[in-house]
Amino acid sequence: MILYLPLTAVMQTLLPMLSFDNTENAFAYKTDKELRKSKFLFKLINNNLLVKIGTRLTPIAFKLHLPIKAVVKSTIFNHFCGGETLNETLSVIDKLAMFNVGTILDYGVEGKQSDEDFDFAVEEFIKAIKFSGGNKNIPFLSLKITGIARLKLLEKIATEKTLTDSETVEWNRVKGRMHRICKNALENGKSMMIDAEETWIQKPVDDLVEEMSRFYNKEHAVVYNTIQHYRHDRLAFLKTSLQKAKSGNYLLAVKLVRGAYMEKERARAKKMNYSSPINADKTATDIDYNAGVKFCLKNINSISFCVASHNEASNMLTAKFLLEQQLSPNHPNVHFSQLFGMSDHITFNLAKAGFNVTKYLPYGPVKEVVPYLMRRAQENTSVSGQMGRELNLLKKELTRRNN
């Protein structure tokens, strides 16, 4: 149901309330001790040399079976992940829900390449869907197609070369896995957010998500594709996706991101001498991202979307556009999401003002989520700039509480 509210009244009430500077709301879910622990962790991550050494040595230490699990688990793992098992994630999910924040469950195991591993992953996804079945605080689950399909197969399909008979059988097995996952999601009233990956494997991912959307997104947005706005062709892709959805009579569901593989994309394009798929600069990416948000809001009856971003301006713009269109802040087709352990100032302030917000919460054995944790550490160094933001907010809240 779409709620239409008097524009000026809603904007006058909600927008002044929405400030990402409010650290009291942002960290209300953390005790003083937890805040100090987070501050300590972000201070460590601020040390570029430590991160450089840590991100190289941690995966090796796990391979050598060195006893580092307890240290990793009690620090970076607990900060960025929900637990090792589904049951362990429950206390985090419940705590987030107390502050009106939902959860996107992410089975964080990566880098597998055998059919056996893929079938195991499918069983894990189905377990997670059933686990979240009766829990309204878990509206979404996230899935990487590379978690259920071989990388080399995806690469070959992306080049549009003819598949061998056994590759065709293999690809049909991947489709079968997706059907099982989506069917279970539909039956349990959940939505699957499919991650976007590198351009050289993205085409089969897009095609697969489109095929599943045609099938499952009839009354409810069961499958979400991901649009990476650092790609200069994605705004056009978003528009074409909507045309296809309209003519195919299904709902388009998309997660809007800027994109996580910029350096890798540019380096490959340079090395292999093709034109980079990435926008020329950050401003161009920001313009495309915000245009994507506006496009989705203009077509809100046909698109369900999620602003998956830590960018304050994009989150604020979405909130503002939403209210300008006289839509309710908790419109069922508009969602916001940030990673667990980051940008609480955006998440909890949006939630407090009544918007639909979720945290992306990875879980899995500590050893298996190490690649995810290493990416978070690298993203939060002082080089990338994100660390400064997180650390300053934590310091600000500790000072506020002590005064």
Ligand X SMILES: Cc1cc2nc3c(=O)[nH]c(=O)nc-3n(C[C@H](O)[C@H](O)[C@H](O)COP(=O)(O)OP(=O)(O)OC[C@H]3O[C@@H](n4cnc5c(N)ncnc54)[C@H](O)[C@@H]3O)c2cc1C
* Binding residues vs ligand X (CB under 6 A): 195-196, 226, 228, 230, 257-262, 278-279, 281-282, 285, 308-311, 337-339, 360
- Indicate the residue among 69 and 203 with the shorter CB distance to ligand X: 203
Answer whether 30's CB lies under 8 Å from 341's CB. Answer: no
Q: What are the DSSP calls for 288-312, one per residue?
A: HHHHHHHHHHHTTTTEEEEEE---H
- Indicate the residue among 61 and 344 with the shorter CB distance to ligand X: 344
- How near is the Cβ of 338 to ligand X at its closest, in Å? 5
Answer whether 311's CB lies under 8 Å from 258's CB. Answer: yes
- Indicate the residue among 41 and 193 with the shorter CB distance to ligand X: 193
- Indicate the residue among 264 and 401 with the shorter CB distance to ligand X: 264
Q: Which of 240, 239, 201, 241 is nearest to 225 (CA)?
A: 241
- How near is the Cβ of 8 to ligand X at its closest, in Å? 30
- How near is the Cβ of 280 to ligand X at its closest, in Å? 7
- How near is the Cβ of 93 to ligand X at its closest, in Å? 16
Query: Which residue bears the tokens 């450089």?
Result: 52
What are the residues whose beta carbons fall under 8 Å from the beta carbon of 330, sequence distance 6 or more?
A: 354, 355, 356
User: Can you read off the two tokens belonging to residue 78?
Assistant: 């607990």
- How near is the Cβ of 314 to ligand X at its closest, in Å? 6
Distance in angstroms (rounded) separating the CA atoms of residues 201 and 271 = 17
- How near is the Cβ of 266 to ligand X at its closest, in Å? 9
Burial class (CB in 10 A: 0-12, 13-18, 19+), 108: buried
Rg of the chain on CA atoms, in Å: 21
- How near is the Cβ of 253 to ligand X at its closest, in Å? 13
Answer whether 10's CB lies under 8 Å from 323's CB. Answer: yes
- Indicate the residue among 318 and 337 with the shorter CB distance to ligand X: 337
Q: CA torsion angle for 135, 139, 144, 148 (degrees, to 10)?
A: 50
- Indicate the residue among 29 and 62 with the shorter CB distance to ligand X: 29
- Indicate the residue among 337 and 349 with the shorter CB distance to ligand X: 337
